[in-house]
């Protein structure tokens, strides 16, 4: 058992085997925030949704914004990891696990948000008893539960060989690893079955992921409210989701690289590649935003213009322009210059993108409701302490979940790295050889 | 089957608010108090929208009483996840308070913002308990509600007609807002009955419906305000 300390990948085992004091401190703080959020929610249950800042015309607020936001972030993972695996990008190996963990945890948090938003959470089962499949909310329930199943399985299956490693080489939580590894021994047959399962899953998971955020956008775009009723919303939401997800992945990678000293595994090149993806999606996002508003402005339909004016120059102008700055201007500037594109630079840009994407959700949900078609007097929406508490609680649950996961399972896939060192290297070389015309000679000599 | 509808003459409406009050009494609408009212959480089923036209001192004020429009193609019914809002057998849009999960999707889908939500447990002062209308369900915390065109009155009128073994007469069923209107601005009846006044009024050249272009087919018509 002792040889694990001399293993070249010991850094990856260390978070599981050794825990320092600061970890317990962070956990305590997170638990305190969660307890506070729980207390606030119980108060909301007792009193009613009146404890929020919602009113008659603006009846969707923080809970729905955070629902869209968290589900958006959950696209980081599974989608990115599935695309990288499918395209056989070799640099994916240390990244995929973290991406998948983000998905599983954030998706769970996001899925809870509509329930927080219900006036009668005690009647939630009516959705199954009297569900109307014509309602976009039912499409959501279907798509999210399917995505959650697919993404947790997709997290779990590639985890099995690592659990088997932990079972064989460590003494902690033996019962858990014994149970979760399902007797995986790493034989040829086991490997083949595992690989096939992964291949099937990653093909399934991509359309499911795309469908989830499309369907979430349908909640808004299926109504005839100005600012919501837009055909572009499906792809717009999906792009925004991958955008915010990539940013979250980068933030988590940089944070845990520092915390667990993964410098040897997560190198400059990973951040360069991922931030390139971030920049591409930033430009995509800007393109969609531009198309969304230019059609509205050019068409000059009065109701639509009311809302656009409200976003551009009205009460929501600070949020709107902050969003443009954080989601487009800053990322594109910082990520285009080599000097600025350091790991620190990428970290701050990603944090900005997360905030910017949250603002985007805010700007989609609230202004349409604060500008009703009929000339009502609308009271502006100011979120209450309860809503802030539940927001912070959601973020804390995410951090806590991620930390606890890192204490039970390796955050970087050990077996996939090992596979990369042995098979991946040869495979990549063989693949390159197969399509580069000038190395035919080299290939020929290799065969001799 | 009659197509129940309403015509409101904006020339006659003075904005006195008696329809709003009559509706409160008829439908057991809770008193929210001053502070929630300022937070924009009034529960009135009938609201008076005030439109201001022009600059001071030449301002023209139009009062538009707004019940639920009982749309022919209601956007709220389309989106409800649990069949809690539906088109009932009389063609009116109903609410099932005991099934509603309080997601407020219907409120946001309604282009007229006609629905309201019980943010707290609805409270009615003790001394008003005796004044409650026994024909109307009292709502609970966390459900959506809206104007029902006094549907309970229609049910009662139908029962009475059946008991007296006669056809339902249109005068049997009138809404509370109509009865209280001092200027008789509201007319109610079967829109498809060419004998009835409501049918003449809806075909008047002053008649219009709010946001008609949305295709929601509201059953409430307004008669345009004209300066004499």
DSSP characters for A282-321? HHHHHHHHHHHHHHHHHHT-HHHHHHHHHHHTSTTHHHHH
Q: Is the pLDDT of residue B106 over 70?
A: yes
Give yes or no for a contact between B198 and B171, defined as CB atoms under 8 angstroms apart: no
Q: Which two tokens stand for residue B63?
A: 């009062």
pLDDT by residue (tens digit) across A271-293?
A: 888 888 899 999 999 999 999 99
Helices (H), A87-231: 96-117, 126-129, 136-156, 160-169, 174-180, 188-221
Distance from CA of A293 to the nearest CA of B (A): 21
* A131 vs B contacts (CB less than 8 Å): 81-82
The strands making up B220-223's β-sheet, listed across from edge to edge, are: B186-190, B4-9, B220-223, B207-208
- Residue A326 has a pLDDT of 92
Q: List, in order, residues 6 or more apart from B205 with CB less than 8 Å away.
A: none
Residue B197 token pair: 């006044």
Kindly report the pTM of this predicted structure. 0.91
What is the average pLDDT score of chain A? 87
- pLDDT beyond 80 at B127: yes
pLDDT tops 80 at residue A447: no
Instruction: With a cut of 60, say whether residue A244 has pLDDT above it.
Output: yes
Selected residue with higher pLDDT from A151 and A440: A151
Identify the residue whose tokens are 């309604």: B110
The tens digit of pLDDT for each residue in B5-61 reads 999 999 999 999 999 999 998 999 888 888 888 888 888 899 999 988 888 888 888
Name the token pair of B40. Answer: 């924009």
What's the CA angle centered on A222, arms A317 and B145, to 5 degrees? Answer: 90
Q: Inspect the interface and report whether the beta carbons of B39 and A379 lie closer than 8 Å.
A: yes
The burial class, CB within 10 Å (0-12 / 13-18 / 19+), for B184 is exposed
**pLDDT greater than 90 at residue A87:** no
Maximum distance among all Cα pairs of chain B, rounded to whole angstroms: 59
Q: Which two tokens stand for residue A213?
A: 């955020």
Question: How far is it, in rounded angstroms, from Cα A140 to Cα A119?
Answer: 18
Query: Domain map of chain A by residue range?
Result: 223-373
Nearest to A347 by CA among A443, A271, A431, A284: A271
The confidence score (pLDDT) of residue A439 equals 62
Look at residue B88 and tell me whether its pLDDT is greater than 50: yes
Helices A302-312 and A268-299: angle between axes, nearest 10 degrees? 140
B-chain residues within 8 Å CB-CB of A119? 100-104, 117-118, 141-144
A315-319, A338-342, B67-71, B151-155: least confidently modelled range = A338-342
Taking phi over 0 as left and psi of -120 to 50 as alpha, with beta for the rest, B124 belongs to: beta
Contact residues for A388 (Cβ-Cβ < 8 A; gap 6+): A62
Q: What is the pLDDT of residue A324?
A: 93
State the pLDDT at residue A2.
53
d(CA B173, CA B176): 10
Interface size between A and B, measured as CB pairs under 8 A: 139
Q: Tokens standing for A141?
A: 């329930």
Q: Look at A23-27, A71-75, A418-422, B165-169 and tell me which has the smallest mean pLDDT.
A: A418-422
Examine the pLDDT at A322 and tell me if it is beyond 50.
Answer: yes
Give me the residue from A58, A131, A374 closest to B112, CB to CB.
A374
Element (H, E) at B47: strand B47-53
Nearest 5°: phi and psi at B223? -105, 120
Distances (CA, A) of A273 to A70, A84, A267, A276, A360: 24, 11, 10, 5, 25
| Residue that has been written with the tokens 């419906």 in this structure | B209
Return the pLDDT at A168.
Answer: 81
* Average pLDDT over every residue of A160-172: 83
Residue numbers of A between 191 and 250 with CB closer than 8 Å to B: 219, 222-225
List the one residue out of A210, A194, A265, A230 whose CA is nearest residue A83. Answer: A210
Contacts of A48 in chain B (CB under 8 A): 118-121, 141-142
pLDDT-based confidence at residue B228 (cuts at 50, 70, 90)? low
> Which residue of B36, B40, B50 is in closest CB contact with A57?
B40
* pLDDT mean over A5-11: 75
Lowest mean pLDDT among A49-58, A287-296, B120-129, B215-224: B120-129
Q: Is A55 on the interface with B (CB under 8 A)?
A: yes
Phi and psi (nearest 5°) for B8? -115, 125
Q: Which pLDDT band, with edges at 50, 70 and 90, does A400 fall under?
A: very high
Residue A176 has pLDDT above 90, yes or no: no
Greatest alpha-carbon span in chain A: 85
Range A271-309 burial, b when 16+ CB lie within 10 A, else e = beebbebbbebbebbbebbeebeeebeeeeeebbebbbe
Can you give B122-189 as a three-state secondary structure string? CCCCHHHHHHCCCCCCCCCCCCEECCCCCHHHHHHHHHHHHHCCCCCCHHHCCCHHHHHCCCCCEEEE
Q: Which two tokens mark A157?
A: 């299956």
Q: Is A384 on the interface with B (CB under 8 A)?
A: no
């Amino acid at each position: 058992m002792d040889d694990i300390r001399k293993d070249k990948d010991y850094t990856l085992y260390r978070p599981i085997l050794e825990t320092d004091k600061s970890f317990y401190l962070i956990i305590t703080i997170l638990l305190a925030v969660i307890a506070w959020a729980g207390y606030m929610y119980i108060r909301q249950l007792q009193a009613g949704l009146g404890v929020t800042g919602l009113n008659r015309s603006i009846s969707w607020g923080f809970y729905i914004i955070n629902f869209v936001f968290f589900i958006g972030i959950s696209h980081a993972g599974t989608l990115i990891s599935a695309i990288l695996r499918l395209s056989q990008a070799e640099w994916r190996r240390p990244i995929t696990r973290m991406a998948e963990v983000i998905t599983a945890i954030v998706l769970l948090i996001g899925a809870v948000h509509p329930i927080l938003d219900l006036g009668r959470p005690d009647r939630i089962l009516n959705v199954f008893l009297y569900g109307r499949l014509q309602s976009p909310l039912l499409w959501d329930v279907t798509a999210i539960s399917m995505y959650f199943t697919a993404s947790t399985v997709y997290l779990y299956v590639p985890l099995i060989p690592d659990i088997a490693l932990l079972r064989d080489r460590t003494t902690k939580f033996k019962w858990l690893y014994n149970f979760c590894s399902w007797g995986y021994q790493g034989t040829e047959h086991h490997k083949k079955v595992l690989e096939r399962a992964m291949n099937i899953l990653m093909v399934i998971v991509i359309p499911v992921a795309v469908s989830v955020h499309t369907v979430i956008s349908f909640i808004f775009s299926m109504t005839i409210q100005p600012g919501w009723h837009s055909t572009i919303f499906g792809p717009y939401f999906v792009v925004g989701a991958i955008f915010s997800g990539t940013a979250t992945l980068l933030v988590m990678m940089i944070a845990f690289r520092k915390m667990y000293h993964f410098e040897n595994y997560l190198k400059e090149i990973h951040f360069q590649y991922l931030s390139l993806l971030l920049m591409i999606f930033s430009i995509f996002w800007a393109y969609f935003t531009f198309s969304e508003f230019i059609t509205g402005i050019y068409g000059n339909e009065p109701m639509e213009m009311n809302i656009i004016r409200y976003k551009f120059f009205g009460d929501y102008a600070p949020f709107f322009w902050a969003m443009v700055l954080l989601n487009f201007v800053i990322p594109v500037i910082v990520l285009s210059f080599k000097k600025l594109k350091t790991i620190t630079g990428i970290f701050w840009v990603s944090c900005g993108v997360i905030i910017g994407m949250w603002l985007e959700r805010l700007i989609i949900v609230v202004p349409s409701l604060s500008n009703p078609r009929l000339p009502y007097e609308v009271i502006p929406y100011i979120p209450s302490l309860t809503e802030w508490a539940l927001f912070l609680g959601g973020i804390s649950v995410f951090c806590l979940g991620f930390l606890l996961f890192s204490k039970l399972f390796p955050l970087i896939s050990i077996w996939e790295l090992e596979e990369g060192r042995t098979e991946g290297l040869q495979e990549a070389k063989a693949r390159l050889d197969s399509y580069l015309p000038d190395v035919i000679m080299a290939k020929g000599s290799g065969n001799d | 089957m009659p197509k129940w509808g309403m015509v409101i003459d904006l020339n006659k409406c003075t904005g006195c608010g008696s329809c709003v009050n009559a509706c409160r009494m008829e439908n057991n609408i809770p008193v929210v108090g001053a502070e929630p009212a300022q937070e924009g959480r009034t529960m009135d089923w009938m609201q008076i929208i005030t439109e201001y036209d022009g600059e001071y001192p030449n301002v023209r004020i139009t009062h538009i009483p707004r019940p639920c429009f009982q749309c022919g193609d209601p956007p709220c019914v389309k989106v409800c996840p649990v069949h809690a809002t539906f088109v009932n057998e009389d063609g009116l849009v109903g609410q099932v308070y005991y099934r509603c999960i309080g997601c407020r999707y219907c409120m946001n889908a309604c282009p007229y913002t006609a629905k309201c939500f019980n943010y707290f447990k609805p409270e009615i002062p003790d001394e008003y308990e005796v004044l409650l209308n026994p024909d109307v369900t009292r709502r609970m915390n966390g459900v959506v509600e809206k104007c029902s065109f006094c549907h309970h009155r229609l049910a009662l009128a139908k029962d009475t007609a059946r008991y007296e073994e006669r056809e339902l007469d249109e005068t049997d069923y009138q809404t509370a807002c109509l009865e209280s209107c001092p200027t008789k601005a509201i007319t109610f009846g079967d829109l498809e009955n060419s004998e009835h006044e409501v049918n003449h009024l809806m075909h008047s050249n002053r008649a219009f419906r709010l946001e008609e272009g949305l295709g929601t087919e509201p059953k409430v018509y307004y008669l345009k305000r004209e300066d004499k």
